[in-house]
Amino acid sequence: MAWELLTSTPALLREGHYIFFTGGWPSATGKDNRWFQVERAQAIKYDVNRNVAAAASIDLDFVVPAAGGVAELSLSLMPQSQDSLYELLLGIKGNPLVYPMYNNSYYLKLEATNVVPDTAGERLRYLGFYDEDDSPMTMPRLRDHVTKDQQPPVLRVYNDMFVEERIVLRFIVNRLKLMEVGPPPEDIQRVARIAKYHSWYIY
């Protein structure tokens, strides 16, 4: 459950692929230390366009608004079914700096005290962000995975220009229906997607 920057556009999970959720996932997700297999997969393109004032930021929350649908700052990118998983690819167009956040805290930061991103600071503004060079809209290289009943991610989007900018984020939402299974054979386990809470790895 954290944005992962890859060196190329990754292949999406497909029917039959295996996923293991390691320890640490919130108990409400129902996935901690369990094996799942993808039963169905459907990739959906979702472009998010927002105007952002010069030297200003907006927070795009993945939550679903109370009335449903989408809102200016609520993107409805959280699964609503316990057996669903969204595999997300994110591509960026324009000049925004995009900061991933969880629990109202920046995810990409250094260990020293107070060395965290700060969109109001001239130096720390350039810490812990992604931009179009990292993940172009037409060749996305940022990936995250979200499931029901986890903490929703937030993307803080900062306009690093001197004029208002129209910022475009392209999501490829791979909507997966999961089926719980027992541990697969060891050779399959070695190539399965391993899901760690706050980190995702492929072995």
Please list the pLDDT of the chain residue by residue as tens digits (203 residues): 578 899 999 999 999 999 998 877 888 888 888 999 999 999 999 999 999 999 999 999 999 998 889 999 999 999 999 999 999 999 999 999 999 998 888 989 999 999 999 999 999 999 999 999 999 999 999 999 899 998 899 999 999 999 999 999 999 999 999 999 998 888 888 888 777 665 433 32
Q: Is the dihedral of CA 36, 38, 39, 44 positive or negative?
A: positive
- Dump pLDDT digits (tens) for 105-125: 898 999 999 999 999 999 999
Answer yes or no: are the C-beta atoms of 13 and 19 closer than 8 Å.
Answer: yes
H or E stretch including 155?
strand 154-159
User: Alpha-carbon distance 35 to 33, whole Å?
Assistant: 7
How far, in Å, are 6, 50, 71, 119 from residue 166 at the CA level?
26, 6, 17, 18
What pLDDT does 198 receive? 54
C-alpha pair distances (Å), 59 with each of 119, 157, 189 = 12, 6, 38
The pLDDT, as a whole number, for residue 185 is: 85
Whole-prediction pTM value?
Answer: 0.90
Count CB atoms within 10 A of the CB of residue 201. 10
Please list, in sequence order, all residues whose beta carbon lies within 8 angstroms of the beta carbon of residue 114, skipping any fewer than 6 positions away.
none
The domains of the chain are located at: 4-202
Q: Which helix (H) or strand (E) holds 188?
A: helix 186-189
The string of DSSP letters for 22-85 reads -TTS-GGGS-TTEEEEEEEEEEEEEEEEEEE-TT-EEEEE-PPPTTSS--SSB---S--STTEE
The tokens for 167 are 């910022």
pLDDT at residue 115, rounded to an integer: 94
Q: Give the per-residue pLDDT at 76.
A: 97
pLDDT of residue 196: 62
Round the CA-based radius of gyration of the chain to a whole number and report it.
17
Compute the distance between CA of residue 41 and CA of residue 15 in angstroms, rounded to an integer.
6
